[in-house]
Structure formats: C-alpha cells, structure tokens
Structure 1
Amino acid sequence: MSGPGRDGRLGVGIIGAGKVGPVIGSALAGAGHALVGITSGSDDDRVEAILPGVPVLAADEVVRRSELVVIAVPHDELAGLVAGLAEVGAWQPGQLVLHTDAAHGIAVLEPALRSGAIPLAIHPAISFTGTSIDLRALSQGYAAVTAPGPVLPIAQALAVELGCEPVVVADADRPAYAEAIATATEFSRSIVRQAAGMLTRLGVENAGGYLSALVRSTVDQALAEGTPPHRDPLGPDATIDG
C-alpha cells in the first residue's frame, strides 16, 4: 500500500456491494479518488453500472490494496468482518478505515486500530436506492461523523467530498442517533403505506402518486417548523450530544 499523492488522492476500496457501498464509491471517485476494488454482491450488474471497470476482489485483497477502506455492510455483520480481517493480518498502519453504519461509532473498528489503522465513522443521512439517483441526495444531505479528535477533520473532509454537510456525533451518542434515524424512516414509511392502502381501498388509482405532493409538502413544512437555527457544520458547536 503506497501513501496518498500530494494532491490528496487516495486509493479507495469498498467492502459491501449493497445499496450503500457502490454509491459511496462513486461519490468518492467523483471527488477525485481512485477506486481500487469492491467486493462481490448479489447484483454485480448493478454495481458495474455504477462503478464501471472497478475490479471485484475478495475483502482481504480490497484492504491490502487500499489507503481508504469503506465498509458498508449490514449492522450485524460489521464487528465480525472487522475482527476477521484483523485475524488474517489485513489491516495496515496508517490506513483509513471508514464504516457507514448509523449505530456504531469507532469502537467497532478497534481490531483495525490495534494494527495501526485510523478509524472513522460516517453515516450519510439519506435513504439509499443503490442507484446514481443517490448522488444527488447526498449533495443535498447531511452526514453524521465520528472519529478520534486528531483525525476528526479527515472524517469531516470525506463527508464533504461525498457531497454532505458533516455533523459531529459523539461516539457514545451513536445508538441514540441511530434510533432517531430509524424513527424518522420507519415511521414515515409506515404512515405513507397505511394512507396509500386506505386510498386504494376507496378505489383511488396510483395512491402513491396521489399522496406525493401532499406528503412532500407536509414533511417540508414539519422540517421547517422543527429545525433549529442553522449552525456552521464545521464549527465547534456542530455536535449532537444527546
């Protein structure tokens, strides 16, 4: 593994080929970084459409080739994956290791840290579709960032390169942060599905389309009413403390 170039360009490897990993890879490539590989997933054709020509590699090989490793796997798989890669000696000193899980902070990356890697946690607060549509959503969204103090600016800078405004979330507050995210997403989906089902039973065709403008305008109004005054996301007060 060679160090980053003078222009700050990194060799980026992606572990996780679901809805999140390929999109994160595409955003980082758009910011000028070089993609060195991605692990295989259940839909390699979709991944190829988002990341054309990027090699498909085993996870340990992705790690060995990368200066920045992005881990975008299901919550329950993250700890075992990080520990397993430590057992085979894959992690490297000075390597950036970034996961995208909402609930985990940097403690889950401890096995990589023991090998000298630099732990970062960045959760973009959008609902991923796994397509290029997500790149626009990233550019309009925020990302929760957690990292040790000396390397927090690196996490913030990577969030900006994804297109997001970074908001610092303390490591101990990640579970509460994840609960807030889950509440917003699951409640929204549940209510919309319930309302659409009621309209469908009344004979309304395309109930989702019928509700679209109403739901979007209502959510926009609720967000405007419930959002505190804007603060500089990179300023000293830009934290979520629980």
Structure 2
Amino acid sequence: MVQPPAGGDAPHDGLRPARLAVGVISAGRVGTALGFALERAEHVVVGCSGVSTASRQRAQRRLPDTPILPVDEVARRSELLLLAVPDAELGMLVTGLASIEAVRPNTIVAHTSGANGRGILAPLAERGCITLAIHPAMTFTGSDEDIDRLPGCCFGITAADEIGYAIAQSLVLEIGGEPFRVREDARTLYHAALAHCSNHLVTVLLDAADALRAALQGQELLGQELVGDVPGGIAERIIGPLARASLENALQRGQGALTGPVARGDAPALAAHLRALDETNPDLAQAYRTSSWRTAQRAHASSDVFAALTQVGQS
C-alpha cells in the first residue's frame, strides 16, 4: 500500500493515494492542465505560481479557486509539489527550493520534464522528499484540448524504488493516463524520440502546406476562395486526410505503411520532386532530400534511388 506523505488526511484504497494538497509551479500550459486533472480526481490544488499575465489568466480560468502565490509559499503548502517549468529552469528552481528549505520532508515532488529523470531533483531527495519524474507524452498548446487529451495519454515515469513507482503510477491512473517506466539513463533518448515525432511532424506538415500553397497560388477554388497563408485553408484541408491516414497506417502497419516514389523505387519521379522543390525553396528541397534518404534506407530502396538523391544534391 502506498503511504501518504506527512499531512495526508485520508486512508488509501489499494494504490489510490490519499487526497493530497497539490502545489503547482508554474501556471503554464502543462502545470494548469495537470492541476485541473488532479482536482478532477479529488485532490486539491492549494496554490500555484505565475509571473506572466498569460500564466495568471490561465490559472484563473483553469484553477479559479486556487490562490496565486510566491514559489516558496506554494512549496510550503504542498504535499504533492508539481514542478512544471521549462527544462532550462528546472535545475535552478530545485536548487533554490532546497537552499531555502521551502519543501518539507516527505513531500512528493514531481517534475514534468521529458529529458530529465530523478537526478535533477537530488537536492530535494537529500532533504527527505519523494522525488519523481512524471512526463506526459503529449503536446500542449494552452487550449482546452490539452485537458481533454490527458485521459488516454501515456506518461513516462522514473522513480527511486517501487514505492515511488506505485505513487507515480496511481497518480497517472487517477487522471486517466497510462503510466510506463523509463530508466534514469534512458530519459534523453526517450525525450529525443518524442521530439522527433512531435516537433518534426509539425515541421513536415507545415513545409508540405507551404509547397502546396505555392503549387496552387493565384488560383480560385470554385470561384469562391483564394489560396492564402492563413492556417486552416485549402492546403490544410488537402493534406489533413492524407496525413491522418498516413499516421494511422504507420501506427497500425509499421513499415508496410510506406508508399510513394521512394518506396516504389521511382528514381525519375523523386528527382523531379527535388528539382521542383529546389525552384520553390532550396531549404525545403534539402529537408525533402534528407527525409527521402532515411525513407530509402527504411524501404531498402534500389541503388538508382540513392543515386538520384546524390545527383540532385550535388547539382
């Protein structure tokens, strides 16, 4: 059975943690979404920190009953302290909290950084805190969709021992997520994989939309619409169904989802693509060439495909 930190005021039901007093540092996209989800699971967010106007407005909208307090006061009130700050700020925050002894021993301290494990929380672990890394494998935009996406989201967790894992797992399960363990020494590789998927997928889609706009520029669509640069236009409506189908095919069929000129071994079509893209945007052509090379490796493409990529790249 998971033991509550000092100050816990309710018994456990199996691995269900006691109702916890939760502090959130800071009131950004991730912190307020998780705070909302934890309150929905009957925990109480007793304080959050927020400096910018946007973070304060977000806190007031998502956590209307939660006071906005200085960081040290949030820490002192908390039984579960959620550190939801950017990766670059996490180490300094932890060092500062430890130096002023703002966090009580036995407090559960969890950060939401994907790239970091428990090591960065060592100054608080030395003060007797239960330290956890709990990272939602999800992109956050600040919209209400962030909260809707948490149920069913997977969370990468790293803890010191089985008690820590039990606490982290039960918290994730309470908000409807799926927990999975990530070794301390694998956090950077884990984070790189997620960044490659999420960030680069966005770049590929936006590049594709730009190229499509260039192909359609100056034309009217059924006499009603001009091709513009505003997101959500015809370019996005064209690539949306294709991109969604490709994503689902990749997730369900793996390597069998590969289609197109590289997978077919159509070197002339590939060379023509690269010439057209180079005329429009050389940087986009280079990105297409790099992705095509990796696709060719995955597809075990013929030598003439690699030759086309090399020849175009040297022209």
TM-score in same-fold range (> 0.5): yes
The equivalences for 1:180-199 within 5 A come to 180-199=193-212
Q: CA RMSD in A?
A: 1.5
Say whether residues 1:3 and 2:13 are aligned partners: no
Structure of higher RCO (CA pairs closer than 8 Å, 6+ residues apart): 1
Partners of 1:145 and 1:166 within 8 A in 2: yes
Match of 1:33 among 23, 36, 43: 43
Partners of 2:158 and 2:181 within 8 A in 1: yes
Match of 1:23 among 33, 36, 59: 33
Partner of 2:78: 66
The equivalences for 1:97-176 within 5 A come to 97-149=109-161, 150-176=163-189
Instruction: For 1:128 and 1:4, locate their aligned partners in 2 and report how far apart those are by CA, in whole Å.
Output: 32
Instruction: For 1:5 and 1:140, locate their aligned partners in 2 and report how far apart those are by CA, in whole Å.
Output: 27
Instruction: For 1:193 and 1:176, locate their aligned partners in 2 and report how far apart those are by CA, in whole Å.
Output: 25
- 1:40 deviates by 1.0
Which one has a larger percent helix, Structure 1 or Structure 2?
A: 2
- 1:73 deviates by 0.4
Match of 1:52 among 61, 64, 83: 64
Match of 1:208 among 228, 231, 236: 236
Label 1:216 to 1:4 Cα distance change in 2 as closer, same or farther (>3 A). Answer: farther
- 1:4 deviates by 3.8
- 1:48 deviates by 1.1
After the TM superposition, list the runs of 4 or more consecutive aligned residues in structure 1 that deviate by more than 3 angstroms: none
- 1:117 deviates by 0.5
Opposite residue 100 of structure 1, the aligned amino acid is T
- What SS does the corresponding residue of 1:221 show, helix, strand or coil? helix
- What SS does the corresponding residue of 2:29 show, helix, strand or coil? coil
How many residue pairs get aligned? The number is: 227
Instruction: For 2:143 and 2:170, locate their aligned partners in 1 and report how far apart those are by CA, in whole Å.
Output: 23
Partners of 1:12 and 1:37 within 8 A in 2: yes
Query: TM-score, length-normalised on structure 2?
Result: 0.69
Instruction: For 2:44 and 2:144, locate their aligned partners in 1 and report how far apart those are by CA, in whole Å.
Output: 18
* Unpaired runs of at least 5, structure 1: 228-242
Partners of 2:132 and 2:159 within 8 A in 1: yes
Partners of 2:81 and 2:108 within 8 A in 1: yes
- 1:132 deviates by 2.5
Instruction: For 1:50 and 1:62, locate their aligned partners in 2 and report how far apart those are by CA, in whole Å.
Output: 17
Partners of 1:4 and 1:11 within 8 A in 2: no
- What SS does the corresponding residue of 2:150 show, helix, strand or coil? helix
- 1:162 deviates by 2.6
Instruction: For 1:132 and 1:2, locate their aligned partners in 2 and report how far apart those are by CA, in whole Å.
Output: 32
Instruction: For 1:98 and 1:4, locate their aligned partners in 2 and report how far apart those are by CA, in whole Å.
Output: 20
- 1:41 deviates by 3.6
Query: TM-score, length-normalised on structure 1?
Result: 0.89
Label 1:162 to 1:41 Cα distance change in 2 as closer, same or farther (>3 A). Answer: farther
Instruction: For 1:136 and 1:215, locate their aligned partners in 2 and report how far apart those are by CA, in whole Å.
Output: 22
Label 1:194 to 1:74 Cα distance change in 2 as closer, same or farther (>3 A). Answer: same
Opposite residue 210 of structure 2, the aligned amino acid is G
Opposite residue 213 of structure 1, the aligned amino acid is P
- 1:128 deviates by 0.8
Partners of 1:145 and 1:168 within 8 A in 2: yes
- What SS does the corresponding residue of 2:23 show, helix, strand or coil? strand
Label 1:162 to 1:223 Cα distance change in 2 as closer, same or farther (>3 A). Answer: same
Instruction: For 1:6 and 1:74, locate their aligned partners in 2 and report how far apart those are by CA, in whole Å.
Output: 34
- 1:11 deviates by 0.3
Partners of 2:49 and 2:71 within 8 A in 1: yes
* Unpaired runs of at least 5, structure 2: 1-5, 13-17, 218-226, 256-315
